[in-house]
Structure 1
Amino acid sequence: MHIYWWLVHLSTDAGKELTEKIGLVYQINVAPKKLGFEEVTCFVDLKKGEVTKVDATFSFKDDDFVKVATGKMNPKIAFISGAMKIKGSLSAAQKFTPDIFPKPSKL
């Protein structure tokens, strides 16, 4: 699944800056084809602590996660169209923007 490259990015200096800026914990559920089936769950701690409480949970299909992460789909459009489901704090969810993801590199 495509979420792992983002988790690696969070261990870099740029990722550490995000941790200081965002200060939230997200749960990301990514499914290969259909939401709720065969999902991979990752916890993204942008709070610098032990994950005891999730501020917002996002569910995506793999392809839609990539579109949001690369800026090809606006998170608001993803939510409105049903490509992204949100549970939890809406104010925390609003900080979930494409700028928290690493920029795609050209290989």
Structure 2
Amino acid sequence: MWKRKKKDCLQTKINTCEEGDSDLYVTLTSASKNPSTKATGLQSDLIFEELGRRIKEVGSQLVKKMNAVFQWDIVCGETIMAQWTLDLKTGSGEVYQGASRKPANTVFTLSDHDFMELALGKMKPQKAFLAGKVKVKGNVLLSHKLETLLREYVKL
């Protein structure tokens, strides 16, 4: 009889998130499916970093109007590639990478490609939601209010 050695193995999956998307993601998964807190190299990272810079300028005005916390889960297939949080509830507002430190009022789940389409104005949020490209947990009405305020205060 042969003796089998116990090995710790990582499962490797290669996913493409969207048709025509030139990015190819290699996902190494173990028992945990939590995203790393390091930069992921996604296009949406650039948008959130810029949003963070702009929130520093007008965040206190947005906190007064919104008083809410928003979280985005950027996914590829079923795997969360990145999480970003927009905290418009405390201080003068903050954008940071990772899950919300406080309970989020609204959580958006969408692919990097769909997020970029929304951010660049190539896709309307309502159509994306109705088509199932964006999943929303929590207060959906806050997402409409967020869209209006971000267009008014934070021009990307």
Question: What TM-score do the two structures reach when normalised by structure 1?
Answer: 0.75
Alpha-carbon contact 2:70-2:107 (below 8 Å) kept: yes
The gaps in structure 1 that reach 5 residues or longer are none
Higher relative contact order (CA 8 A, sep 6+): 1
User: 2:54, 2:119 → 1: CA distance?
Assistant: 12
Deviation at 1:88, TM superposition (A): 0.8
1:39 aligns with 2:81: yes
Within 5 Å, give how 1:8-87 maps onto structure 2. 8-11=53-56, 13-31=57-75, 33-34=76-77, 36-48=78-90, 51-87=101-137
RMSD between superposed Cα atoms in Å: 2.3
Shift >6 Å, 4+ stretches: none
For structure 2, the residue ranges without an aligned partner over 5 or more in a row are 1-41, 92-99
Q: CA deviation at 1:51?
A: 4.3
Change (3 A) 1:65 1:10: same
SS of the aligned residue for 2:79 comes to coil
Structure 1 pair 10–55 and aligned structure 2 pair: CA distance change class (3 A):
same
For these two proteins, the number of residue pairs brought into alignment is 101
Q: Which moved more, 1:16-25 or 1:78-87?
A: 16-25
Matched, 1:103 2:151: no
% identical equivalent positions: 26
Larger radius of gyration: 2
Question: How far has the Cα of 1:66 moved from its partner?
Answer: 1.6
Normalised TM-score (structure 2): 0.55
Distance in 1 separating the partners of 2:85 and 2:106: 10
User: Partners of 1:66 and 1:99 in 2: how far apart?
Assistant: 18
**2:70 equivalent to 1:5:** no
Relative distance call for 1:87 and 1:27 in structure 2 (3 A) is same
Deviation of 1:98 (Å): 5.9
Task: Tell me the secondary structure at the aligned position of residue 94 of structure 1.
Answer: helix
